[in-house]
């Protein structure tokens, strides 16, 4: 039987937001905060804040609110940020190199162990201290090393077969930047990141007011 998460995707998507805001509050010296204040900061209702956090147990106190440092630490644990993860990048193009060059991942426990690409022009290139290896070495690397997460930034035509190889090699999660949704077995986590989707949403927001004004005018005519 397939495992069904006890927490909705919407709540999970908000957890990193909580962690980021609480980290900023802690850096600013804020010791405690109410659900109302946190909600105003995050553009959420106090009720939504409490519902989200109560999915994982009660961390607040009546009349006191939330202890910022404690709640940040607890949400970090819920997100698994108290672990160290071994990460590889498959596809050393612009996206792959951008991920490798971001120092923040290392600080949060996501260590880039290796990079792979098919292009002779990229193999051997040093990207933030990691040498790009040829794709033919990927299978052997997976057999010899523990890999938790793979960043996949290859062309759509090769994404599924590459993902299948990664899963066969023991990879537990794939951060997929290929412009295609992957089909993976139960127990393997995937986050499909389609960059164009974000731009499409932004484009919609820019034109939303005009769109509904036109729709309203058409209904009246």
Q: Is residue 218 part of a domain?
A: no
Q: Is residue 219 part of a domain?
A: no
pLDDT at 4 over 60: no
Residues 113 and 142 in one domain: yes
- Residues with Cβ within 8 Å of residue 53, at least 6 apart in sequence: 18, 35, 59, 60, 66, 71
Q: Is residue 208 part of a domain?
A: no
pLDDT (mean) for 28-45: 94
Q: What is the per-residue pLDDT across 82-126, written as a single tens digit (0 to 9) for each?
A: 999 999 999 999 999 999 999 889 888 999 999 999 999 999 999
- Residues with Cβ within 8 Å of residue 44, at least 6 apart in sequence: 14, 38
Residues 157 and 117 in one domain: yes
Domain range for 145 is 85-196
Residues 66 and 17 in one domain: yes
Q: Residue 1's pLDDT is what?
A: 42
Q: What percent of the chain has pLDDT over 90?
A: 73
Q: Is residue 3 part of a domain?
A: no
Q: Residue 3's pLDDT is what?
A: 46
pLDDT at 2 over 60: no
CATH of the domain at 168: 3.40.50.720
Q: Is residue 63 part of a domain?
A: yes
Residues 19 and 67 in one domain: yes
Q: Is residue 221 part of a domain?
A: no
Q: Is residue 105 part of a domain?
A: yes
Q: What is the mean pLDDT of the chain?
A: 91
Q: Residue 177's pLDDT is what?
A: 95
Q: What is the per-residue pLDDT across 151-180, written as a single tens digit (0 to 9) for each?
A: 999 999 999 999 999 999 999 999 999 999
Residues 91 and 43 in one domain: no
Q: Residue 23's pLDDT is what?
A: 95
Total-model pTM: 0.85
SS3 content of the chain, % helix, strand, coil (to 5): 50, 20, 35
């Amino acid at each position: 039987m397939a495992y069904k998460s006890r927490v909705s995707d919407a709540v999970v998507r908000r957890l990193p937001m909580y962690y980021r805001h609480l980290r900023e509050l802690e850096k600013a010296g804020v010791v405690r905060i109410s659900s109302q204040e946190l909600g105003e900061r995050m553009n959420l209702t106090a009720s939504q804040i409490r519902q989200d956090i109560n999915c994982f147990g009660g961390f607040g106190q009546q009349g006191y609110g939330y202890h910022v440092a404690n709640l940040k630490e607890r949400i970090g644990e819920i997100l698994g940020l108290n672990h160290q993860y071994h990460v590889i990048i498959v596809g050393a193009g612009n996206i792959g190199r951008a991920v490798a060059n971001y120092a923040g991942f290392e600080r949060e426990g996501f260590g880039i162990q290796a990079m792979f690409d098919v292009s002779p022009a990229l193999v051997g290139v040093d990207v933030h201290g990691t040498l790009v290896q040829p794709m033919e070495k990927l299978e052997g690397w997976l057999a010899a090393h523990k890999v938790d997460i793979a960043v996949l930034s290859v062309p759509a035509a090769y994404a599924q077969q590459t993902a299948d190889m990664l899963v066969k090699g023991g990879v537990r999660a794939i951060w997929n930047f290929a412009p295609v949704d992957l089909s993976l077995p139960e127990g393997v986590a995937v986050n499909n990141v389609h960059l164009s989707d974000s731009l499409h949403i932004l484009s919609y927001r820019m034109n939303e007011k005009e769109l509904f004004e036109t729709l309203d005018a058409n209904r009246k005519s």
